Structures are given as structure tokens and as C-alpha cells.
Chain A
């Protein structure tokens, strides 16, 4: 029996049927009917302190679980504030659904109060978006939105709902099918191409697995591990793919790219078969494209046909779900796992020898000092506490790169960061979303002093829910990554990068009713982190680190990834007269 209900209740009914448990949002004028319906609805609403953070929190929820994250904002400024989070989700292929209120249908286009062309503005920020002007369209659109967000290459979908739709009365008609004739999802992968891939791999003398966020999106970590072990090739995972292969896996040689490991970048450059799985040959990974993996035949598996050949033309393109493609590939390889010939087997052993030598030559090793806390030291201590198990929601900048280099992740969905868009202010709200999704998990919000100051309002959200998030501020007093570039490429002319005022952490956290502390001695580091973790509830730990440290290795912009700068320029010794 269908019950007469208003549009707002119908919208919540649709969300409930999609299994939504939690919405991150901020109310406003036109969403009043929705918030009225929420008042007595079992779906949990988390009031954030800024709409941008609603989108980031929804992303955090989605990144930590693989489920669709949901955020909600009112018309006009509410919707425009969401856009950074939408683009962020777009760039990293994160499934979220954003619900925005819109002014009444008859007022659209009249410069009504809090009106903005949300449908137009978010066209390029989303995988798909909708404007709902008729109540009878609402259920179909909402269910479509969830389907589109989660299927194929995941991404953000926005549903803009006019106030008259939220207020209108109607019956919920169950939606039995999604009919999107133009939305083609390629999952299986071409059998012939998969066979060619298997053959290419068996002939490879210097194979390298290059795995990315697609592995995590597809839930293909187990298949990846099986694959890597079957062919026993060295493997790199991108910034988005950290955790796809356990960091401690013997075949794992860390992250490639601008701040990747020496071994990863050298292996990329020298490989003869590059097996690219759920990656998009991002410029931060490839460096100068013309110099990237110059000897390699490329096998590229991706669910999005538009990614194939976008930056690097593959020799064996496979459009499909990387989980299914890997399963098929593993089956083929398991039938004849040995390399093609004795010569190939010998070449493989020599290849491993070289890769191990690179790894030993320039390992990613934390720098420590007795005088000051080195940022790498901080990461090593976080790593020690986490032991590959904690969720680390990172902000953007130097700390993100050091964490990516030095913190281990034993499983997917532990390392949450804004990879493609590089949105500062992401870390703290993403940690909020992740903690709601995984109340059982230890969650670190690992942020810089810059990004943290973009997110301070969310301390209110954390405090009001008593979320036991451990906020670790890597405070170097600078917008460190920008400073690093100014130092290295702009004659050390430090322009607008000094953050000379930072709030007293104890007082700031105290003002929100939880504990905060500042440390600056390396002797206090371990105990302070342990205290943060063992203290129930939220904790703000402000760690003052060496202000002048730069992230190495570093591939200068426009260089090939083998042209890494491995450490700070050494002072030139002037011969004494």
C-alpha cells in the first residue's frame, strides 16, 4: 500500500532504500521541508560547519567503505560551497550523491533569494547531475543517481530538487529498473586482449605492475595480490592506490612519481612490460610523458574507455572492471605460470636483482634529529602506532607526501587523501566521514598547519559527536610544499607562504572541550602520540617540526621520472686559499 507523502519524505524513502545510514549536511531556506522530514526519520544527519566539508565528509565515508557517501546543502551558497568536494570526488572517482535544494520551479531564473544555477554550475563538477522539477520524477532520478555514482567508474552525482517538489504531495512508486540506454558500463574485458596480455607478461623480461585507485574502487586487492605473486613482478602503487597491495609485501617497491621512491621510478623507466591496472597515467606519476617508461610495452586495464590512450597509447588495451579482468588473467597465468623460456627466467632474476639494488641504494628512510622533530620522524612514529591498520585521512602538501612514503597500509581504504584535485582542507572533514563509517577504527586526521586552518570550524562537529579522531598537525610554520618550490625553483624568494600565527593547540581544543597539546622536542614525540591515541575522545596534537625540510626524492616539473633529485643541494666547498 502506498502512502501519500510529501516530496521531502519521498526523497528520504529513496535514500533509505539505497541503504543510506548517514547524511552530512547543512540546512537552509529551501531545504526546510527536507529537514522537517528528517526530524522523525531514522536516517542520521550530521551537521557539519561548512558545506564544503559536507562533501569532503561524504567522500571520507565513501573512501573508507566503498559505499556511496551522501551530502546535502541548500540552494545558492550551500550548493556553490559543495562544488570543491564534487570536483575532488570527480578527480578521484569517489561515489557520492549530493542533494541540493533549489528555489521553487516558478522562481528559477528570477534571481530569487539564494538562487544559483546549480545544475549549470555543477555540470562539469559531476559525473552526472539532475534538476528535479516534478515530484513524479523524483524516485526514478534519486535511484538513478545512486546507480550512476556507484557503477562503472564511480563519481559524484548531484540531484538539485526544487522547493515545490520537496513540498508537493504524492505516492512513492517503487522503481524497478534503471534505464539509461547511453550509459554503457564495460566490465568483462575482451577475452582476446586478456589472452594477449597474458602472453605479453609471460614474454616480459622486466615486468612491472603499476596499480592505482581503480584497484581499490573495484575491490580488487585480493586479485591484485594473487596476480603479483603469480608473476612475481615488482609492483608500485600510486598515491591513490596505497593499500591496494600491503605496504609490507615483498614485491612492493612503494609509490612512483614526483615524490616516489627511487626504486619505483627507476623500475618504471627500465621496465619492458608495464602492467597498468586502474591508473590514469597522471602527470604527477609520469613526469615528462615522452621520457616515461620508454622501453615498455604497456598493458592498460581500465573501466573507462576514455582513459585508454589518453596520456600513453597502450600496446594491449583492455576496457573492463579490473577485478574481473585480473581474475581472468590470473586464471590464464595459473595454467602456465612460468616465464616463456629459460632466457626470460634468467632475465627476470637479473631484473629483480637490479630492482633490489635500487631499493637498497636509496631507500625511503625516515630522517631523525635530536634537536628538532623531523617531519619524516613524525611519520615513522605514526606508522609505528598504526602498524598498517589505522585510517589516515591526510590533507594536501608535504605531510601528505611524507605520509605516503613512510606510513604503511596493510589494506585498501585506510589511506584517504585528495589525490587528483589536491584540495587543502580535505583531511579533517574526510576523517569525520571515515570515523562515522568506521567507528571501530583508529582514525588519524593528518594535516598541515595550512590545511588545518582551513578546517578549524569542523572541530565543532568532532566535539559535538565526541568523535575519537586523533588530529595530528604537522606544523612547520609554512605552506611547506609551496615554500619548497619557491626555495628550489624561485631562488628562495618566499612569497606568502609563512604561517606565522597558529593558535595555541591546548587552548583551541580546550575551547571545544577536548584535549590539545603542542610538542616540539623529538624526545616527547613518541609519548605524546601514544597519549593522543590512548586518550578517549578527540585529541589535537600540534607537532612543531623542522621548518626547512623538503620532500625528497623529487622529480622537477617537466623532467623525466628517472631524473630525481634525491636530497637537498649540498653546500659547495670553497677551497681555502
Chain B
């Protein structure tokens, strides 16, 4: 079963590599990964969807929490959470089916972001399963190209964030240079 992990981490070079390294070293394939900065520009929020061996799940989360750049890693798989994804679909349609495509997109809450004689570019958001259906429907109307954002997740229960306060450096007698 896929596991949804949400991480709050420092927005620093190499931080992403440290997190993914814990998964790739075990030979896990990452299903999706999204990362962007938070309202605090020094922090990033990351959502990873990955299939981790159930007996190792807790261990992987602990090892993520151990990383210096990670403020908090949470396994959202079994917690109340909202998981959403964005998809962009470019579809080439015949003139006859344009209206039908628009109607279908509307059913899925899709929004046309570009329109040309060739067809449309449509964006839709939703839970990943729903988007699979949307893509299947679109494909039945013509040739499509798809880009998915990967899952974004947010826990619905507030989790206490424990942060380490600054540690004063030990006083050292300054050396003459």
C-alpha cells in the first residue's frame, strides 16, 4: 500500500537529496514527490508518496526525523488528511467533439486554461483517483498529453511541532591569528 509522508524541512541545498536518499538506498521507487517553500521562505513542505515495506515504515519516518534539515516528518497514511493533486491535460480534438470535451471537463471541475483550433489545455484538481478517471475520459476524445503535480497532502489534525532552540556556542578563548 502506498504511504503518504509529509515533511517540513529547511529550504537548503541537499535537503531533498537527504530525504530521498533514505528511500532510494533501500531500493524504493518514489511514486510522487512535491516540494515547495512554505510561507516561511526558509522552510519547505514536501509530500512523498512511496510504497514502503510496512514493517519498515516507522523506521523510515524516524530516520527522516533524524535528518538535521528535517523539522518534522509525519506519516499521513492512517491519519485524517486531505490529499489533492493537480493535473494539466492538453487535448487535441476535432471540431465536432469540442463541446463534449468541455462538458466532460466541467463534470470533473476542470478549467480550460488554453484554447486553440487544435484543442484545449485543461487543468483539474482532485484526489488522485478522481484524476485518473478524468484522464481516462479525456483520452477517449483524442490524443492527450498529461502532466501531474504529484500528491499534495495536509493533515487535518494539528501536530505539535517541536523545534530545537538556538544553542549558544561554548565560550572559547580567542586565539591570536
- Closest A residue to B12 by CB, please name it: A130
Nearest chain A CB to B170 CB, angstrom units: 9
Task: For B21, list chain A residues within 8 Å (CB).
Answer: 123-124
Q: Is there a chain A Cβ closer than 8 Å to B80's Cβ? A: no
Q: Is there a chain A Cβ closer than 8 Å to B167's Cβ? A: yes
Q: Annotate B28-69 by CB proximity to A: 1 below 8 A, 0 otherwise.
A: 000000000000000000000000000000110011011111
Q: Is there a chain B Cβ closer than 8 Å to A182's Cβ? A: yes
Query: CA–CA, A13 to B25, complex, Å?
Result: 37
The answer on a CB contact under 8 Å between B68 and A306 is no
The answer on a CB contact under 8 Å between B177 and A182 is no
Query: CA–CA, A228 to B58, complex, Å?
Result: 32
The answer on a CB contact under 8 Å between A13 and B175 is yes
The answer on a CB contact under 8 Å between B168 and A182 is no
The answer on a CB contact under 8 Å between A143 and B169 is yes
- Closest A residue to B22 by CB, please name it: A124
Nearest chain A CB to B6 CB, angstrom units: 14
- Closest B residue to A175 by CB, please name it: B169
Q: Annotate B138-165 by CB proximity to A: 1 below 8 A, 0 otherwise.
A: 0000000000000000000000001110
Q: Annotate A281-324 by CB proximity to B: 1 below 8 A, 0 otherwise.
A: 00000000000000000000000111001100000000000000
The answer on a CB contact under 8 Å between B59 and A177 is no
Q: Is there a chain A Cβ closer than 8 Å to B123's Cβ? A: no
Q: Annotate A105-147 by CB proximity to B: 1 below 8 A, 0 otherwise.
A: 0000000000000011001100111010000000000010001
The answer on a CB contact under 8 Å between A17 and B172 is yes
Question: Of the candidates B63, B69, B168, B172, which one forms a contact with A306 in the assembled complex, judged by CB atoms under 8 Å apart?
Answer: B63
- Most chain B CB within 10 A, of A148, A184, A185, is at A184
Task: For B63, list chain A residues within 8 Å (CB).
Answer: 306
Question: Of the candidates A18, A42, A174, A177, which one forms a contact with B166 in the assembled complex, judged by CB atoms under 8 Å apart?
Answer: A177
Nearest chain B CB to A21 CB, angstrom units: 11
The answer on a CB contact under 8 Å between A129 and B14 is yes
Q: Annotate A11-29 by CB proximity to B: 1 below 8 A, 0 otherwise.
A: 0110011110000000000
Query: CA–CA, A513 to B174, complex, Å?
Result: 41
* Known contacts A178-B166, A181-B163, A182-B70: A9-B14 contact under CB 8 Å: no
Query: CA–CA, A309 to B65, complex, Å?
Result: 15
- Closest A residue to B67 by CB, please name it: A182
The answer on a CB contact under 8 Å between A182 and B69 is yes
Task: For A177, list chain B residues within 8 Å (CB).
Answer: 166-169
Q: Is there a chain A Cβ closer than 8 Å to B17's Cβ? A: yes
Question: Of the candidates A13, A119, A147, A184, which one forms a contact with B14 in the assembled complex, judged by CB atoms under 8 Å apart?
Answer: A119
Task: For B68, list chain A residues within 8 Å (CB).
Answer: 127-128, 148, 180, 182-183
Q: Annotate A150-188 by CB proximity to B: 1 below 8 A, 0 otherwise.
A: 000000000000000000000010111111111111000
- Most chain A CB within 10 A, of B18, B66, B177, is at B177
The answer on a CB contact under 8 Å between B58 and A309 is yes
Nearest chain B CB to A40 CB, angstrom units: 10
Query: CA–CA, A42 to B176, complex, Å?
Result: 10
Q: Is there a chain B Cβ closer than 8 Å to A574's Cβ? A: no
Task: For A371, list chain B residues within 8 Å (CB).
Answer: none
Query: CA–CA, A181 to B162, complex, Å?
Result: 9
- Closest A residue to B71 by CB, please name it: A182
Q: Is there a chain B Cβ closer than 8 Å to A572's Cβ? A: no
Nearest chain A CB to B8 CB, angstrom units: 8
The answer on a CB contact under 8 Å between B177 and A181 is no
- Closest B residue to A309 by CB, please name it: B58
Q: Is there a chain B Cβ closer than 8 Å to A3's Cβ? A: yes
Query: CA–CA, A306 to B14, complex, Å?
Result: 21
Q: Is there a chain B Cβ closer than 8 Å to A5's Cβ? A: yes
Task: For B67, list chain A residues within 8 Å (CB).
Answer: 182
The answer on a CB contact under 8 Å between B14 and A182 is no
Nearest chain B CB to A290 CB, angstrom units: 13
- Closest B residue to A10 by CB, please name it: B177
Task: For B58, list chain A residues within 8 Å (CB).
Answer: 309
Nearest chain B CB to A151 CB, angstrom units: 8
* Known contacts A182-B9, A310-B59: A305-B66 contact under CB 8 Å: yes
Query: CA–CA, A179 to B68, complex, Å?
Result: 11
Nearest chain B CB to A307 CB, angstrom units: 9
Task: For A12, list chain B residues within 8 Å (CB).
Answer: 177
Q: Is there a chain A Cβ closer than 8 Å to B27's Cβ? A: no
- Closest B residue to A17 by CB, please name it: B172
Query: CA–CA, A127 to B67, complex, Å?
Result: 8
* Known contacts A177-B169, A181-B71: A123-B14 contact under CB 8 Å: yes
Query: CA–CA, A42 to B14, complex, Å?
Result: 34
Query: CA–CA, A254 to B73, complex, Å?
Result: 40
The answer on a CB contact under 8 Å between A304 and B66 is yes
Chain B residues 70-112 with CB under 8 Å of chain A are 70-72
- Closest A residue to B59 by CB, please name it: A310
Nearest chain A CB to B66 CB, angstrom units: 5
Query: CA–CA, A304 to B67, complex, Å?
Result: 11
Task: For B18, list chain A residues within 8 Å (CB).
Answer: 123
The answer on a CB contact under 8 Å between A178 and B14 is no
Nearest chain B CB to A355 CB, angstrom units: 33
Task: For B169, list chain A residues within 8 Å (CB).
Answer: 143, 147, 175-178
Task: For A124, list chain B residues within 8 Å (CB).
Answer: 21, 25
Query: CA–CA, A177 to B166, complex, Å?
Result: 6
The answer on a CB contact under 8 Å between A9 and B164 is no
- Most chain B CB within 10 A, of A131, A180, A185, is at A180
The answer on a CB contact under 8 Å between B14 and A131 is yes
Task: For A309, list chain B residues within 8 Å (CB).
Answer: 58-59
The answer on a CB contact under 8 Å between B163 and A178 is no
Nearest chain A CB to B20 CB, angstrom units: 10
- Most chain B CB within 10 A, of A9, A148, A179, is at A179
- Most chain A CB within 10 A, of B166, B172, B175, is at B175
Task: For B72, list chain A residues within 8 Å (CB).
Answer: 182
Task: For B9, list chain A residues within 8 Å (CB).
Answer: 182
The answer on a CB contact under 8 Å between A17 and B174 is yes
The answer on a CB contact under 8 Å between A305 and B14 is no
Task: For B70, list chain A residues within 8 Å (CB).
Answer: 182
Task: For B17, list chain A residues within 8 Å (CB).
Answer: 120, 123
Q: Annotate B116-150 by CB proximity to A: 1 below 8 A, 0 otherwise.
A: 00000000000000000000000000000000000
* Known contacts A3-B177, A17-B175, A124-B21: A306-B167 contact under CB 8 Å: no
Query: CA–CA, A12 to B18, complex, Å?
Result: 28
- Most chain B CB within 10 A, of A13, A120, A176, A181, is at A181
Report 8 cross-chain contacts, Cβ distance below 8 Å, ordered by A residue.
Answer: A9-B177, A123-B21, A174-B174, A176-B169, A182-B10, A182-B70, A183-B68, A306-B63
Supply 8 further A-B pairs (C-beta < 8 A) apart from A9-B177, A179-B166, A182-B10. Answer: A16-B175, A120-B17, A123-B14, A172-B177, A174-B174, A182-B71, A184-B163, A305-B62
Q: List the 10 closest pairs (A to B, CB-CB), nearest first.
A: A306-B62, A177-B166, A182-B71, A179-B166, A16-B175, A181-B163, A17-B172, A128-B68, A178-B167, A183-B68
